[in-house]
Amino acid sequence: MRMAETAPKLIRIDPFRLHMERRGRMVTDANIFASRAVKLESDAIRQLCDAASLPPARKVLATADIHVGFGVPIGAVLGLEDAIMPPAVGYDINCGMRLLHTPFSRGEIDTDKIAADIARDIPLGEGRENLQLDKAGIETVINKGVAAVPALAQKSGHRAWEAFDPDQFYDDLQRIEENGRLPANPAAVPKTAIQKGRNQLGTLGGGNHFIEIQYVQEIFDADLAKTFGIFKNQIVVMIHSGSRRFGYEIADQYMNVAAARPENADRPKMLSYLPTHSSAGKNYIAAMAAAANFGFTNRHIMALLVRRCFNRMFGPTPLKLIYDVTHNMAKLEKHGGNRLWVHRKGATRAFGPERMTGSNFAKTGQPIITPGSMGTASFLLVGTGNSAESLSSVNHGAGRVMSRTAARGKSRRGRIVTPALISDEQFKRSMKGIKLIAGDRRKIKEEAPGAYKDIEEVVRIVVECGWAKPVARMIPLAVLKG
C-alpha cells in the first residue's frame, strides 16, 4: 500500500470539526477535531488518511493535538475490526499520566527543595536503572501489574517500600485505569524486553516524560473539585511516564512480526497490523498487556518514591492518588453496537459516569489528566459520556507544533547546521519562575513550551465539543525532565 502523497481535502463542518470524505484507497471517512486556531501538519493529515485506508479500519479520527508519529499520527484514535495494530499503539506502550494531591498550599513548602529530593530518588533520562528485579519479580509484574507491589516490597529492601502502606495501596488500586492490571502472558514477551526492562522500574525516561510539582490556579467546578479533594492553591504532583525499554522492545518486535505477514506485503512496517484471531495477534495483545502492567507499576513506584520524599521532609504526609490513566493503548470496546479494537495513540479514554459504573467514578465520570508543556498549564477534567463521535476519547496533551530538531537546532562538530527555532532567551523567558531539573540539558529545548500547541485552546475544543467538563487548572512550580 502506497502512503498518501498529497494531503487529503478537509472540509470544515463547524468551528471544531473537520471531515475527510472517503475516497481513493480509504475504506472509511476520517474526522479531525480542531479549531481554526490549531495548526495542522499536512504530513499528519496524510498519515491519518493512510490509517483510514487500512482494510480493518471502521472509525478513524484525530484530536486537536495531532502531529506526525511513526506511521500513525500521535493524537489518533482508530477503531479496527478483528485487528490489532502495534504502530497505532506506539513504542511507549502505556505511556500515561498520574496525579496526586497533597495537603499543602502554595507557599507552605519549599517546592524547589522537594523537587531536588525527588530527583535524587528517581533517575531522570534514557537508559537509567532503579529497582532491580529477578526473573520471578518481573514475571510477577507482568502477570499482576500494580497488584505485584506488595510481593515486591516483601522481597527487597528498596527505598520505595518505605512509603508503602497497605490501606493506601488498596485505595490506590481503585484509582488506576483497569485497577493497574490487564491479562498478560510472560511467554509472549520477547527476551530482549525482559533483559532491558528488568532494572528500569521507578525510572522516568527521557523525551516528554516529566514529574511536575504544581499548584491549583483555578477551580472550574467546586463540587467536582471537592469530590476529588482539590482546592485552590493546593500543591499537586503530576507524573508522566510509560513502560520504558520493556515496552519499546515489545513494540519493535511485534511491528516486525506484523510487517512480515502476507496481508501486509504491500504496506510498510509503520502501517502493518495483525488479525486478532491469529497466533501473532493474540501474542501481541498479551505482550501489550504485559507492557501496560509494567507501565502502571513504573508510575506507581515513582509515586511511592515521591511520597517517601514528602514523608522524609514533612513527616507522615497523605499524598492521595486522584487517577492514573494511559494514553498509548488498544482495548476491545463496544461502541454503537460494534465491538472494535480502539487504538488510542496519544489519546486518552474519556468515559462518562455510565461507563464507570461499579468504580469510584460512577457519579463523576472518569478523570482525565491533560498536561500542557513544561512552563504551561495542565488540566484535570472528567468525561461526560457525550463523546461517542470520538470513541470516548480526548487529546492526551497539547501536541507538538515543531520537531525536536527544529526546536533545539542542529550542529555538527561545533558548527551550527540548522539554527534553533527557539532561542536560549526565549526558552529562559518561558520557564521564568519555574525550577527546572533536567537529565539532559543539551536536549531540554526540545520540550520548550514554544514547541507545543496552546493547551488552553486544545482543552477548550474538548469542552466545547461536550466530551469533558473542566475541574481545575494547574500551573507548574518545579519541573523534572529526562
Q: Looking at the annotation, which residues are catalytic?
A: 396
Number of H helices, E strands in the chain: 12, 21
All three cell numbers of 186: 510472560
Of 330, 359, 329, 100, give the one whose Cα is nearest residue 211.
100
Which ranges of 184-317 does DSSP label H, i.e. alpha helix? 191-197, 222-228, 244-259, 279-314
Could you count the other beta carbons within 10 Å of the beta carbon of residue 21? 11
Could you count the other beta carbons within 10 Å of the beta carbon of residue 125? 17
Three-state DSSP string of 24-44:
CCCCCCEEECCCCCCCCCHHH
Distance, in Å, from the CA atom of 455 to the CA atom of 449, rounded to the nearest integer, reads: 10
Of 92, 88, 74, give the one whose Cα is nearest residue 346.
74
Q: Which residue has the cell 500551573?
A: 475
CB-based contact 147:141 (threshold 8 Å): no
Look at strands 338-345 and 378-383 and give their pairing: unpaired
* Long-range contacts of 462-466, Cβ-Cβ distance < 8 Å, separation of 24 or more: 462/63, 462/64, 462/370, 462/381, 462/394, 462/395, 463/381, 464/15, 464/16, 465/16, 465/17, 465/33, 465/387, 465/389, 465/390, 466/384, 466/386, 466/387
Q: Which residue has the cell 524547589?
A: 112
All three cell numbers of 201: 522500574
